[in-house]
Amino acid sequence: MPMKSDSTIDRVDEADSRVRQYVAQMTRNPRLGLDDDIFQAGVNSLFAMRLILFLEQTFQIQIENEDLEWEHFRTVRSLGRLVERKLRAPAEGHDDGTH
């Protein structure tokens, strides 16, 4: 496995909780679970847009058009997985041979 920087590890580890905190506030559902459908109260394009921008700004990642799959955005857990994959991708793409 390629080495990851400590900051990347921290951000991967906190992805689920940070995403959960954001979505819970935006949907005003403090009991939001990791596998709850976050759009169950109805689909709102303004919220969807905010969510994309939140992920990009908070985790310094770029959400590409091919990432915009409904399944990636349905729950906190699936969002956490998307963030984790995006955070790990640059490290794997720039293998410096330290492993």
Sites of contact with other proteins (CB under 8 A): 22, 25-26, 28, 41-50, 52-54, 63, 65, 68-70, 73
Min. distance of Cβ 62 from other proteins in angstroms?
11
Q: Is 14 left (phi over 0), alpha (psi -120 to 50) or beta?
A: alpha
Q: Identify whether the C-beta of residue 2 lies closer than 8 Å to the C-beta of residue 71.
A: no
Q: What is the number of helices (H) and of strands (E) in the chain?
A: 4, 0
Closer residue to other proteins, CB minimum distance, 28 or 99: 28
Least distance (Å) from other proteins to the CB of residue 69? 8
Give me the least distance between CB of 61 and other proteins, in Å please. 14
Handedness of CA 87, 26, 75, 46 (dihedral sign): negative
Which residue's CB is nearer to other proteins, number 5 or number 44?
A: 44
Distance from C-alpha of 49 to C-alpha of 97, rounded to nearest angstrom:
38
- Indicate the residue among 22 and 88 with the shorter CB distance to other proteins: 22
Q: How far is the CB of 39 from other proteins (least distance, A)?
A: 9
